[in-house]
Every structure is written in C-alpha cells, then in structure tokens.
C-alpha cells in the first residue's frame, strides 16, 4: 500500500463504547431481575439502505446493552429515530413521527428518545429539535452512530439534553455489534460518505467525505455472513466505484469484488450505488467473469439532457453514459440495468424533460427509481433560478412513469417460459398464500412454495410477467 490515509477510528474509541455498553447492561439486567421483563428498545428507520445498515448497528448496540428489540414504540424504554434528509418529504415524515412520541414520553418520563441520521446532521434541524421537540433527549449525527452507549450514559448522568451532530473527523468505526434484519439477505457497508457534490444532493454535507473500510475487514465480514447462511449480500456505498481512493489503497472496487468472489459457498453479491463517471471496464469485466457477482448494475442516470446533467454536476454526458451501458450489454447480454431518474430539476425545460423520456427509450432500463426534485437547503441547486412549479413536476413525473412502465413490461415479457434462479424470501407480505423472492437482477417473483423453502435458492419457471413482477412455479430437482 502506498500513500495510505488512515480513515479508521482507533480501536480504543470503540472499546470505550463497550465500557458504556457494560454499564448500561448492568442496569438493564437489574431492571429485569426486579420486574421479570426486559427493557425494550425501538428503532425507527427512514431512508436508504445505508440508513438501514446504520440502524442494524443501533439495534446491535441496544441488544448488547441488554434491551430487547421491539417492533413497536409503545412500552419501549429507548426509542431511536434514524432520519433521512434526501428529500423534504422524508424529513417531514420523521418530524411527524417524533411528534407522535411526545405522548409516550408523557406516560414514561424515564424513556429515552434519541434522533440520529442525516436530518439532524444539519444545524437548522438540530435547532428545530432543540426548541420544538423538548422531550427529545439527544441527537447525534451520521458519524457518531457508534457513540450511542456513551450518549445514553451522559444523558442519564448529567440530566442535560445533548446535541452531537458531528465528529471533528469522519472515521470508520469497526467492530460495532449488529442485529441484522431477519432473512437470508445482508447489507455490508464498504465505504461511507460522498465526494461528488451533485448540485441537488444533501448527502455530501450530511455524510461527510468518502472513507473506505479495508478489504480485509470487508472480506472477513462477508465470509462470516456466508458461513452463517446468508445468501444475498449487498455491498453498500454512496459511490462504490470510488472505493479505496480516499485511503490511497492500491486496490479498487473491482479488485475488492474479485477478492470477495473467491469466498466459497452458495451466495450472490449485489452492490449499490455506482456513479457513471467512475464505472470502469475493469469492473464490468470482473462482473462478467464472476461466479457470485449478480449481473445487475444500478447506474443512476438522473436526466437525459446534457445541459441538466452539467448543471447537476454529474460530470458525464448522455452519450458517455450510453457507452457504459453498451459495454455492459456487450459483456453481459442478460444483465439487468436499473437507474435513478429525477424530474423537475431547476430550469428543466419541456425539451430537457423530453430528452429524459428519449433517454429511457434508448437505455431501456429494467426498472427505475423515480424522484421529483426536492429543494435541499445548503445545496447549489437550492439557490438556482427557475424552480419548476409543483404541478409541472407532478405531470412530468406521471409521464415518466408511463414511459418507463411500458419499457419494464417489454423487458419482463421475454422471461416468460424461462427458468430463473430465485432467492425465496418467504410468504408475501400482502398475501401470505403466495411466496415471493428475487432473481439475480432483483426482480420480484411470486410462486407457490413451502415454508421450508424460505432462505433458499429455487429454480422458478416464469409463467406470467407484468410491469413490476414475475409469476411462476418452482421446478424441483428429482
């Protein structure tokens, strides 16, 4: 390794948290002895998979502190709200939920309510919590997640509310216990933060600069998960393609994937998200030749107009983006390609928007996540001229969906009559008579199965396809 920069939090800092964990556990165990039941903790999560992964750490620490993890806030002694700031709607939802917890605190004044995540890494939101939500005990930012045990102790000892939006330095905390969501899928963060500063996006301001975990730490975690029986592992980062650059590692994301692919076992690796400006041919070659790497690329385009892309500070053109898609399809003709598309960016003309529709027809994504631009205070786009009226944004959003839905259906139809490998997630949430799972490209598939099939890979013959899902029957090996 040359010119490496150490982005890892000193182990002593993490060990310190374990001291606090022990202290709280002792107290919680005493409570259990006296009352016959355990204190409960409830974690409410908003936003992206990165937040889900952070919440698994919060729940893991809470469990280590002796709390039982609850599914509901009622009766919990500790509530942590992990917030998102990417769109205004997510912030409003979080504030409304925090508002609803006031009556719980009234019933149980000893309860601790903490708010963390991207929303409270912004000063104006910290002030809002400080003045308008006086029953919130403490707030902590995205880089302080590991400090939860310490903050609980401090709050109890001092009796004072605590505002800890950010650390001086954003560092990777290794060794924090995690309580993973049930099932055969697991998230593994490979890096944190973002250096891209897309002009609409709050993430670089609330998650700090890029910092990568070492490949050894990631390898050990993935190998352990495979050993424990996890079948689908998604590597997470805001821009996984720049993995390693921040720390000066002499290996990149493609090298990391190659290394993980050597782990023996029956599993798939997905990853998200990639920035098109950094998607290399080397990475695509590694995917094409991989044994365990899903042939699924999530590559956010955002807009089809070069002028909009330039003002978004995306640093690619639509043609250069298409060059990457062409190479992916040349190497992996059946690859599933998904994208993020935004409508209503400031100054987006009708012609710009039609460029996006044309781009969809050319790129032919299997699926898109579509977004209406939401102004974020502190970002360059916030102070740009010509914000688009809500009515026009909504109309464009509808047209975007219509255009993409037709493409998604066209992409799904040819799968009828084919047998696809599906990881079974168990009974469907909406109808427990059928089972659901996802194929290599993360497409949702419904089929009849038995409970013992949950968590296994199954061969499913596709009999019907619609815009959002595939339907089929299991082909059992004789």
Site membership for ligand 5AD, residue 340 (CB under 6 A): yes
Which has the closest alpha carbon to 445: 414, 412, 405, 472?
472
Q: What does 238 interact with, of ligand 5AD, ligand SF4, none (CB < 5 to 8 A by kind)?
A: ligand SF4
Q: Which stretch binds ligand 5AD (CB under 6 A): 6-14, 327-335, 372-380, 391-399?
A: 372-380
Closest by alpha carbon to 122, among 83, 70, 149?
83
Residue with Cβ nearer ligand 5AD (193 or 300): 300
Residue 196: contacted member of ligand SF4, ligand 5AD, none (CB under 5 to 8 Å, by partner type)? ligand SF4
The size of the chain, in residues, is 478
For binding to ligand SF4 (CB under 6 A), which residues are involved?
194, 196-198, 201, 203-204, 238-239, 275
3-state secondary structure of 419: strand
CB 161 within 8 A of CB 114: no
371 binds, among ligand 5AD, ligand SF4, none (CB under 5 to 8 A by kind): ligand 5AD
302 contacts ligand 5AD (rule: CB under 6 A): yes
Our CB check for ligand SF4 shows the closer of 40 and 314 to be 314
> What residue 212 binds from ligand 5AD, ligand SF4, none (CB within 5 to 8 A, per partner kind)?
none
- 232 pairs with which residues across the strands? 185, 268
Instruction: Please tell me the distance from the alpha carbon of residue 252 to that of residue 254, in angstroms, as a whole number.
Output: 6
Minimum distance of ligand SF4 from residue 194's CB (angstroms): 3
User: What does 275 interact with, of ligand 5AD, ligand SF4, none (CB < 5 to 8 A by kind)?
Assistant: ligand SF4
Contact between residue 449 and residue 396 where contact means Cβ atoms under 8 Å apart = no
Taking CB atoms within 8 Å and a gap of at least 24, the contacts of 215-222 are 215/244, 215/249, 215/251, 215/255, 215/256, 215/259, 217/174, 218/188, 218/190, 218/256, 218/260, 219/259, 219/260, 219/263, 221/188, 222/188, 222/260, 222/263, 222/269
Does the footprint of ligand 5AD cover residue 300 (CB under 6 A)? Answer: yes
Contact between 356 and ligand 5AD per CB under 6 A:
no
In the complex, the smallest distance separating the C-beta of residue 300 from ligand 5AD, rounded to whole angstroms, is: 4
Which letter does DSSP use for residue 67 in this model? P
Name the binder of 374 from ligand 5AD, ligand SF4, none, CB < 5-8 A by kind. Answer: ligand 5AD
Q: Looking at 373, 397, 446, 457, which residue binds ligand 5AD (CB under 6 A)? A: 373
Residue with tokens 């640093």: 315
325 binds ligand 5AD, rule: CB under 6 A: no
Binding site partner of 28, from ligand SF4, ligand 5AD, none, Cβ cut-off 5-8 A by kind: none
Rounded CA gap, 447 and 436, in Å? 6
- The DSSP secondary-structure symbol of 127 reads H
Q: In a 10 Å sphere around its CB, with 0-12 CB exposed, 13-18 middle and 19+ buried, how is residue 364 labelled?
A: middle
Give the nearer residue to ligand SF4 in terms of CB position, either 73 or 276.
Answer: 276
* Residue in 371, 397, 446, 457 binding ligand 5AD, rule: CB under 6 A: 371
Among residues 267, 125, 118, the alpha carbon closest in space to that of 193 is found at: 118
Q: Per rule CB under 6 A, is residue 82 in the interface with ligand 5AD?
A: no
When binding is defined by CB under 6 A, the residue of 342, 388, 423, 462 that contacts ligand 5AD is 342
CA distance 432 to 135: 39
Query: Which one of ligand SF4, ligand 5AD, none interacts with residue 197, CB within 5 to 8 A by kind?
Result: ligand SF4
Closer by beta carbon to ligand SF4, 42 or else 316 = 316
């Amino acid at each position: 390794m040359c010119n490496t920069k150490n982005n890892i939090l000193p182990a002593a800092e993490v060990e310190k948290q374990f001291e606090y964990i022990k202290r709280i556990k002792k107290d919680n165990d005493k409570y259990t002895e006296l009352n016959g039941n355990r204190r409960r903790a409830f974690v409410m999560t908003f936003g992206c998979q990165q937040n889900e992964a952070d919440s698994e750490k919060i729940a893991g620490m809470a469990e280590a502190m002796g709390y039982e993890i609850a599914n509901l806030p009622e009766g919990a002694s500790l509530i942590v709200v992990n917030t998102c700031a990417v769109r205004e709607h997510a912030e409003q939802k979080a504030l409304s939920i925090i508002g609803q917890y006031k009556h719980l605190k009234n019933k149980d004044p000893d309860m601790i309510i903490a708010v963390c995540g991207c929303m409270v890494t912004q000063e104006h939101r910290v002030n809002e919590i400080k003045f308008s939500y006086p029953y919130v005990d403490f707030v902590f930012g995205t880089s302080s997640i590991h400090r939860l045990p310490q903050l609980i102790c401090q709050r109890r000892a001092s009796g004072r509310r605590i505002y800890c939006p950010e650390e001086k330095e954003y560092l990777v905390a290794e060794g924090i216990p995690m309580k993973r969501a049930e099932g055969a899928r697991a998230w593994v963060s490979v890096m944190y933060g973002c250096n891209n500063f897309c002009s609409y996006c709050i993430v670089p301001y609330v998650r700090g600069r890029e910092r990568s975990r070492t490949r050894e730490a990631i390898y050990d975690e993935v190998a352990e998960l495979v050993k424990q029986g996890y079948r689908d592992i998604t590597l997470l980062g805001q821009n996984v393609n720049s993995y390693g650059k921040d720390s000066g590692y002499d290996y990149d994301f493609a090298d990391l994937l190659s290394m993980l692919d050597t782990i023996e076992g029956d599993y798939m690796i997905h990853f998200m998200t990639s920035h098109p400006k950094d998607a290399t041919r080397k990475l695509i070659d590694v995917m094409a030749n991989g044994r365990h790497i899903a042939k699924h690329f999530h590559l956010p385009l955002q807009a089809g107009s070069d002028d909009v892309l330039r003002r978004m500070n995306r640093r690619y053109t639509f043609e250069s983006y298409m060059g990457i898609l062409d190479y992916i399809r040349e190497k992996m003709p059946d690859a599933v390609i998904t994208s993020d598309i935004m409508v209503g960016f400031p100054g987006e003309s009708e012609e710009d928007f039609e460029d996006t529709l044309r781009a969809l027809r050319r790129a032919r994504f299997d699926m898109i996540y579509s977004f209406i631009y939401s102004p974020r205070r502190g970002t360059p786009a916030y102070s740009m001229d010509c914000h688009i009226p809500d009515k026009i944004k909504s109309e464009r959003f509808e047209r975007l969906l219509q255009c993409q839905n037709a493409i998604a259906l066209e992409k799904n139809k040819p799968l009828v009559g084919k047998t696809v490998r599906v990881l079974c997630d168990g009974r469907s949430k909406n109808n427990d008579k059928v089972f659901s799972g996802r194929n290599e490209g993360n497409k949702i598939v419904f089929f009849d199965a038995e409970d013992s099939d949950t968590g296994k890979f199954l061969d499913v013959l596709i009999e019907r396809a619609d815009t959002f899902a595939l339907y089929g029957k299991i082909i059992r090996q004789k």
